[in-house]
Amino acid sequence: MKKIEVVAAIIQCNEETLCVQRGPAKLDYISKKYEFPGGKVEVGETKESAIIREIKEELHFDIIEPKFFNTVNHQYPDFYITMHSFICSVECKDITLTEHIDQKWLKISELHQLDWAAADIPIVNKLQTDQK
């Protein structure tokens, strides 16, 4: 089974967190699901530099000093994913979607309202638990 290592950005502005929606996909279990933006770690790249690069590519947005949050290991039907998430505090919400079809800025207590990709759910749960 294919194994991939990815990074995800928990982008927070004031009291809200960025949630982005994937477009239609041939794999039903990730099609149109919400996720935290990010992508694959390239060979020889640190996780921190990967998240900075991915957010620049996907959202045309610069993040500074990402702080490690947690690592999720999840097995989808077709692949195994290790996802390292980082808290990224920003001062503005000026992003440009290049790979997603929608964005929402929600309070942590509202995150459960969305239809999340399965690998992102443990991050949502930890954010909500840590907030209490």
In this predicted model, what pLDDT tens digit does every residue of 25-61 receive, in sequence order? 888 888 999 999 999 999 999 999 999 999 999 999 9
Could you tell me the mean pLDDT of each successive run of 10 residues in the chain, 132 residues long? Answer: 96 96 89 96 96 95 94 94 96 93 97 97 96 72
Range list of H helices, the chain:
47-59, 121-131
Q: Distance between CA 14 and CA 12 in Å, rounded?
A: 6
* Cut 0.75: pTM above it: yes
The structural domains of the chain, with segments of one domain joined by +, span 2-131
CATH annotation of 2-131: 3.90.79.10
Q: pLDDT value at position 26?
A: 86
The beta strands (E) that lie in the chain are given as 2-13, 16-22, 34-35, 38-40, 67-75, 79-90, 100-107
